[in-house]
Structure 1
Amino acid sequence: MHKPSTEPRPSIYYDYKVHKPWLPSAHGAQARQQVVIVGSGPAGMVAALELARHGVASVLLTAELQVSQGSRAIVFTRRSMEILQQLGVAARITENGLPWRFGNSFYRGQRVFRMEAPHDADDRFFPMTNIQQQYLEEYLLDACAASPLIDLRWGNKLTQVQQRDGFASLEVDTPEGPYTLESDWVVAADGGRSGIRSAMNLQMEGASYEGFFVIADIRVDLPLPTERLAFFDPEWNPGNTILMHREPHGIWRVDYQLPPGETPQEALEPASLKKRIDAQLAMIGHAGAPWEMDWCSVYSARTLTLPNYVHGSVLFTGDAAHLLPIFGVRGANTAFQDAQSLAWHLAFVVKGLTSQRLLANHSAERVGAAREIIDEAGKSTRFMAPPTRGFKLLRDAVLSLSLTQPFVRPLYHWRTSRPHEYTHSALNSRGDDNALFTAGPAHGAPPQNVRLGADDFLLDHLGGGFDLLYFTEGATLPAALLEVVEATRRRGVPVKVVAIGAAQPVAGADLTLADADGHVRTRYGVQAGGAAYLLRPDQHVCARWLTLDATRLQAAFAAALPR
């Protein structure tokens, strides 16, 4: 019988709420579900909320009775905020988080590199926003609770999954005993130590690095800006790396590498933690500053992925699908993109709008994204924690040269997480004008945001289905295009037509956005009327045309929705 803890987790800044468990005796016989999601971390909740946006109900199982312990993921990128805006939680993160865009690398007391993330007036969100994961989970939980399509079951621990003919049978344990639940689809969002992945004997591909890192969240008053700080080869931790981040509520993340041979248990001894944190504060000029520990943990850097995220009725997402190093804020930010992609692909299959081939596309795209991230993150990891003597010699040469030679300093760049572009996706239209554009988001890229007013941006108006952006100053959309749109809608496919350019409402469009100064057209590389973009439900571009006609629009829908 599952007995989750009913004691609130300890924290000096976050008030943990213990929820009541979902008990089977209070709900009677269980009907077969369309989707069961295992794990209520960021990936699981984003998947549930995205499915709900597409009208698909889900059961969300979580073994615990409260949100996760410790700050865990703390840095969320602009693209993550754009995804979270679709779910209705971005405003709360903006209100309570700390925005930033600069990163600093130090060696021997000298700043040798300063990273500056791009940011301009067309961006609603900053490149990065810091907030502890407990708050993110709280905001997502509130959104889940507000949705009638999400059945969140606290204190429900999955113990077994058996795949049947076209569905899965799940054994779930609760504080009053087990019950059986059947589901057409199971989303494994149960984290890096995924029990589902282990039970299915699935092997990840990639590399694990031997070094260990300590994460320590402390409350300390430091008069420093919200910028990422990285210190290489400091005197108190020779040959290793230390990272620091400011978090809300006076909390600072101190992240330092352990010397070879030291065990995680030794590193988390209070005396060891105190000695090293005191040394770090002294190194940055704040020796003796009083501080208080909130949470600490140890992790190792790994660059691993499953080669396929679809296994019969079980779909893997987030850390259950891959394990990525935190350098470059890749963990939760990648999980948001995973879950957004999975949800729309799965929703369209569940609703019968396309064949199960669409799920193979999801896997191909997200495995490709993971491999790209592994390639980039591996470079950052090998610089932060050289795995061999040869890599250490190269890293040390860069450190030494950076004191006097500016040309090597960009090698410190941590290759921040960015949205993957599905350049070679099977859903991209082969008969469009993608190759003829000289600007704007290309095949597979997410859209570019554009400021339309003081608090009005293009992405505020997009999402939830396919978006056809049609650039025109005319009064009416071409009838032939509208016939294709209406035929697609009759199949049950959500399509929104957004006319961009005209000052007055355009007949046939669901929304008209004026573009008097041509700024939107410039950002999208459009010169004349009749051009268009087609965005998938995850907002990535699947087709674009300098001149759109009905035949090519029909072909684009056929490619994006394989039968």
Structure 2
Amino acid sequence: MGFRLDPAATAAQVQATVFAWHRSPEQDAATSARHPVVIVGAGPVGLTLAIDLAQRGQRVLLLDNDDKLSTGSRAICFAKRTLEIWDRLGVAQPMVDRGVGWHTGRVLFGDREVFHFDLLPEAGHERPAFINLQQYFAEAALVERALALPLIELRWKNEVVAVESNDDGALLTVQTPDGRYQLHADWLVACDGARSPVRAALGLEAKGRVFRDRFLIADVTMDADFPAERRFWFDPPFHPGQSVLLHRQSEGVWRIDFQLGWDADPDAEKQPERILPRVKALLAASGVAEPGVQLVWASVYTFACERMDRFVHGRVLFAGDAAHRVSPFGARGANSGVQDADNLGWKLDAVLRGEAGTALIASYGVEREAAADENLRASTRSTDFITPKSEISRLFRDAVLGLAREHGFARALVNSGRLSLPTTYTSSPLNSVDEGGFDGGVAVGAPALDAPTTEGWLLRRVGPGFTLLVFGSAPAVDGIAYLTLAANEQLAWQRYDARPGTAYLLRPDGHVAARWRAPTADVVRAALRRALAQE
């Protein structure tokens, strides 16, 4: 059942991997088996959640309707916060080693650069702002880790075809190559994508806005030496009236997104004879005379910005694209889905251990629905700027781009995709009231910031449970790990606006539950109870 990703494996070899289907003994049992947690969907989100739960000591059944990794690049931009989550799960390093790190973006209008930006201008972070890595490589690393954990059972070619929700869980009907069987889940988590069969089986839906536009994704190899940065063109001479996005990936593959317009024929536009001239025109405009282009993969897509009204339906929970979907501009899809899993894992673990009640699961909905709204707003605004729907909108956009070359105020209005940032849970019921007295630092609800320390990177030193991050000294409280930073850890003290006696209570997902200048033991205990939804 094990799987090892060869670091030297090519993209073609990884995508050709087929995982064996095995008939489960449950198919021959007289009664349906019961599982504490069943996750549907072995993509990045489902795999992340399964690994997180298993590392916390929970047994997980993971079902997937396929027996292969994803095909084509699909999600490629993985943000610093996602890498930090995957570090805790033991999978980030091989992705960083294979991926292309970057932090600079350039925005061009016509044939001129409007401006460029740096997503990580300050040193002192272990991970880059982003890596570009084809989704199948990320999935392969996650599958390798999942299959190495004995508490995870991953069943390939197990398609969920019916779901009945009840007060104590859900009854699933599963189709396999050798017939159907049923099983019970105390908790069911649907990570099964934008067309979520689980969501459909329960008669639920995602609502929002569908955009009437089409984009071509072309993965190509080519004889070009662009730097590892994001390039976005508005109305370039080689693709007039439309937009183009360029990213460098691993294995010498480049990802190019061409806006096509709503009237484009998807089947015709995927043909090499339509794609290669577009790519060669881009390269010619960039001074590459003999590009040597080869097409690796192509797809034409439309997109929507939508979400379910609620992510928590009794014992059935939704995460990733099954719960919310955004346009691809800004890399908010996979990154927000991984953050869903990061939010949910420790909460399910606490409930299964009897340390918290279902109010803690309800907080998953509160926090991640707010995060989805934030991503949907950003994604919708990006799409409206990139694809104006009227002549007035286009005139406004082009005027902003023209002004942005010389004027800083206009650059703030340019929107080629506001790139993914982790959500701060400002209004979470798990937060304790911020006492104030901080001039900056990491706000309550925000994820912890990394910094180098004398004993390694700060986030590497944070444990899997609740942690009290202490600058100087603080009172001892049972049930909380302590991480003390000495006065010579200057960058950490600066990033947390620390003084002697300052303390931050970090949740198991690394978000700040409370912070104080000089806490008492009782105050810390009260914040811990609140963070577990016990009061």
Report the TM-score range of the alignment, normalised by the length of the smaller protein.
Answer: over 0.9
- 8 Å CA contact 1:440, 1:448 repeated in 2: no
Q: 1:391 offset after TM fit, Å? A: 2.1
Cα pair distance change 1:522/1:275, threshold 3 Å: closer
- 8 Å CA contact 1:204, 1:306 repeated in 2: yes
Q: 1:303 offset after TM fit, Å? A: 1.4
Cα deviation digits, residues 229-281 of structure 1 (max 9, x gap): 11111234322100010011110001010133113223213322233223222
CA distance in 2, matches of 1:366, 1:425: 10
Cα deviation digits, residues 391-416 of structure 1 (max 9, x gap): 22211222343455554234335321
Say which of 521, 526, 531 aligns to 2:493.
Answer: 521
Cα deviation digits, residues 18-68 of structure 1 (max 9, x gap): 111031248753530001100000000001011112221110001111111
- Specify the code of the residue in structure 1 equivalent to 2:390: T
Q: 1:16 offset after TM fit, Å? A: 2.3
Once the two structures are overlaid, the 10-residue window that deviates more, 534-543 or 53-62, is 53-62
- Specify the code of the residue in structure 1 equivalent to 2:506: L
- Specify the code of the residue in structure 2 equivalent to 1:554: R
- Specify the code of the residue in structure 2 equivalent to 1:500: L
- Asked if 1:428 corresponds to 2:413, the answer is no
Cα pair distance change 1:498/1:404, threshold 3 Å: closer
CA distance in 2, matches of 1:542, 1:283: 51
RMSD after superposition: 1.9
CA distance in 2, matches of 1:31, 1:559: 35
Question: What does residue range 397-408 of structure 1 map to in structure 2 within 5 Å?
Answer: 397-402=399-404, 405=407, 407-408=409-410
Once the two structures are overlaid, the 10-residue window that deviates more, 40-49 or 258-267, is 258-267
- 8 Å CA contact 2:216, 2:269 repeated in 1: yes
- 8 Å CA contact 2:15, 2:71 repeated in 1: no
Once the two structures are overlaid, the 10-residue window that deviates more, 195-204 or 79-88, is 195-204
Partner SS state of residue 448, structure 1:
coil
- 8 Å CA contact 1:22, 1:156 repeated in 2: no
Partner SS state of residue 158, structure 1:
strand
CA distance in 1, matches of 2:412, 2:427: 29
- 8 Å CA contact 2:115, 2:405 repeated in 1: no
Say which of 521, 530, 534 aligns to 1:550.
Answer: 521
- 8 Å CA contact 2:357, 2:533 repeated in 1: yes
- Asked if 1:382 corresponds to 2:353, the answer is no
Match of 2:7 in 1: none
Q: 1:463 offset after TM fit, Å? A: 3.5
Match of 1:418 in 2: 421
Question: What does residue range 357-506 of structure 1 map to in structure 2 within 5 Å?
Answer: 357-402=359-404, 405=407, 407-413=409-415, 414-430=417-433, 432-433=434-435, 435-453=436-454, 456-472=456-472, 478=475, 481-482=476-477, 485=478, 489=479, 495-501=480-486
Q: 1:202 offset after TM fit, Å? A: 2.0
Match of 2:256 in 1: 254
Partner SS state of residue 422, structure 1:
coil
Say which of 162, 166, 181 aligns to 2:168.
Answer: 166
Partner SS state of residue 408, structure 1:
helix
CA distance in 2, matches of 1:268, 1:12: 19
CA distance in 1, matches of 2:513, 2:370: 17
Cα deviation digits, residues 332-384 of structure 1 (max 9, x gap): 11111011111112221122111101111111110101111111122211111
CA distance in 1, matches of 2:382, 2:274: 27
Cα deviation digits, residues 410-458 of structure 1 (max 9, x gap): 433532110000011100113x52x2211311110011111014x8211
- 8 Å CA contact 2:14, 2:140 repeated in 1: no
Cα pair distance change 1:239/1:55, threshold 3 Å: same
5+ residue gaps in structure 2?
1-9
Partner SS state of residue 251, structure 2:
coil
Question: What does residue range 257-406 of structure 1 map to in structure 2 within 5 Å?
Answer: 257-402=259-404, 405=407
- Asked if 1:19 corresponds to 2:19, the answer is yes
Q: 1:518 offset after TM fit, Å? A: 4.0
Task: Count how many residue pairs are aligned between Structure 1 and Structure 2.
Answer: 522
CA distance in 1, matches of 2:198, 2:392: 38
Match of 1:559 in 2: 530
Once the two structures are overlaid, the 10-residue window that deviates more, 366-375 or 286-295, is 286-295
Match of 2:5 in 1: none
Cα pair distance change 1:202/1:390, threshold 3 Å: farther
Cα pair distance change 1:560/1:11, threshold 3 Å: closer
Say which of 534, 537, 543 aligns to 2:508.
Answer: 537
- 8 Å CA contact 2:37, 2:188 repeated in 1: yes
- 8 Å CA contact 1:113, 1:410 repeated in 2: no
CA distance in 2, matches of 1:283, 1:412: 23
Match of 2:200 in 1: 198
CA distance in 1, matches of 2:220, 2:400: 31
Percentage of matched positions with identical amino acids? 38
Q: 1:178 offset after TM fit, Å? A: 1.1
Cα pair distance change 1:547/1:23, threshold 3 Å: same
- Asked if 1:45 corresponds to 2:57, the answer is no
Once the two structures are overlaid, the 10-residue window that deviates more, 88-97 or 315-324, is 88-97
Q: Give the TM-score, by structure 2 length.
A: 0.93
CA distance in 1, matches of 2:260, 2:491: 51
CA distance in 2, matches of 1:40, 1:110: 43
- 8 Å CA contact 2:215, 2:261 repeated in 1: no
- Specify the code of the residue in structure 1 equivalent to 2:196: S
Match of 1:36 in 2: 38
- 8 Å CA contact 1:210, 1:387 repeated in 2: no
CA distance in 2, matches of 1:205, 1:331: 16
- Specify the code of the residue in structure 2 equivalent to 1:17: T
Q: 1:562 offset after TM fit, Å? A: 2.2
- 8 Å CA contact 1:53, 1:464 repeated in 2: no
Match of 1:123 in 2: 125
CA distance in 1, matches of 2:408, 2:517: 43
- 8 Å CA contact 2:272, 2:295 repeated in 1: no
Q: 1:316 offset after TM fit, Å? A: 0.4
Partner SS state of residue 205, structure 2:
coil
Match of 1:149 in 2: 151
Once the two structures are overlaid, the 10-residue window that deviates more, 73-82 or 286-295, is 286-295
Cα pair distance change 1:298/1:15, threshold 3 Å: closer
Say which of 219, 244, 249 aligns to 2:246.
Answer: 244
- Specify the code of the residue in structure 1 equivalent to 2:459: L
Cα deviation digits, residues 162-218 of structure 1 (max 9, x gap): 113312111111111111111111110001111122222323233221111111101
